[in-house]
Chain A
Amino acid sequence: MATGGGTGGGLGDAYKHHAQLGVCESRAKYREGRRPRAVKVYTINLESRYLLIQGVPALGVMKELVEQFALYGAIEEYHALDEYPAEQFTEVYLIKFQKLQCARVAKKKMDERSFFGSLLHVCYAPEFETVQETREKLQDRRKYIAKATNQRDCFVLKKVEGPEKTVSKNSDCPWSIPRSCVTGNWDPSCCTSSHRVSQNTGCPSGNHNRSLLTFPQYGNNCAETSGYFGQSTSLTLNVQPGRCPPPAPLTQQRTVPVDNGVDRFMPRTTHLQERKRKREEGNKFSLIGTSVDNTEVIIGPQLPELPKVDMDDDSLNTSATLIRNKLKEVADSVSRTSVEKLETSSAKPPVKQRRRI
């Protein structure tokens, strides 16, 4: 067992727990994996939504680091661990994902990856979990197995809904529940206690929890993987049996609002496209002249109408109008793109500056 004081992050047992084990050199041929690995058994206890990232060069690249990790799923919290022992000129960061599955993928993809010229060491950091987070993690594993093996072995946990660890310290009320409810293959009919109402009774869920947690950009990553694992690590939210719970309580409870992260990592191209779209819409309304034709956008003061040339033939006249309109369109788009180019180029310098810092 570990030594050292466990205040805050429980750094006491971090040293041993996170020391990278030596690679196993003596594996039989048929047991060799694609990558050299140490001999280690992973259990749910070792996994976590918290990832510890060691070996980050001390170059002020936190933003870039978090951006990299956000590719694998929504990040709930991140910060540097200044007090954590680190190699010279490197820093240690802690990143908390919203879902265990995303942390899993991120660890797999980012461990031993080169980052600004240094190799990252990524490991799970369950010692940063609260009691409630540990409880939820264990409960999610239970649900996942029940689902994967098609067993309705729902062990309903008390206090799943309480997001804070302080909730769990009460000693009087939960015990009015008949014990058989709490353990094993309980019979739902026996659970009539009122404080159970808001709990996730019955179904091994995960699906509808997921829907409220996926975000536009990262949804794909999560969906792809958790489709297989079907785990949802975020039961804290007061998820009612209803299908579409509002996402608001989630963001309120967290120390770092999730929206922030998402906003921040919205791809620049999307930003630009969005801006362009809005501008075009605005143009349409403000600059539409006297023309009734909606597709025709006229820029600038209206010139006196060109004298219409009569070709003495209906069909020829139609063609002439078509050609005229086409010419107008082309001329319009040319002038518009030049305006855009100006705007985008004026928008770019700040980005480059940010990179250099």
Chain B
Amino acid sequence: MSATETQASPVHQTVRTPDPNAHPARLKADAVSVFYGEKQALFDVSIDLPEKSVSAFIGPSGCGKSTFLRCINRMNDTIEGARVAGKITLDDHNLYDQSLDVVELRARIGMVFQKPNPFPKSIFENVAYGPKIHGLARSKADLEEIVITSLQKAGLFEEVKDRLHQPGTGLSGGQQQRLCIARAIAVGPEVILMDEPCSALDPIATAIIEELIDELRSNYTIIIVTHSMQQAARVSQKTAFFHLGKLIEEGPTEEIFTNPREKRTQDYITGRIG
């Protein structure tokens, strides 16, 4: 946790509070900058993201937190004119290495989006989609098992077990979002990225998803971008505060929320900016 402290850019210093109890980090970012055409959206972000725990990115709109999240599974590749500098490593392999297969990477680092986006297919087909394209199931029974386990892990199976072959788009918003989580889990990822997964949901559905995130933590490295500071406080162990494209402060969630060391962080969590 302490090694990164020396690598921050000279222009901008991220305030870091180390966490002695944190799990080891397999996912590390080192001086990541993102440009959209001429405009720089992210400035030299370096952070270690511990495994088997939830890390939350907070900050006002347009602060670069989603941009950074999308760098981690290289979804920025799909945006015209986006360029990424610096490096992100998973088990010391650079994700931006020329030889890396993006398709394989995205199977290891799954993503859940802001708005639930189930495919216009049945619930079963939605979850089976990933395993099918990656050839994870040897037989039909295999596939069924993967689908059912994934739905169970996403806490959706009991609600949909009688209508697995009905369209996934017919579910409620919260169920759709859990379906998308099940879909991501089905591929067997190590990391799950969540881009404001509850912003389109009502409070009850949000509570269910938050509970689910807490359960998933024991098996996956979860990174969540959120607008809600309460949500970050509830679900995460580590919090990173972004402002204007820079990583201002990062540390154990408890520390950040009770005892921020940087003034901007304090202003944000007390509601004075953003």
To the question of whether A and B form a pair in one complex, the answer is no
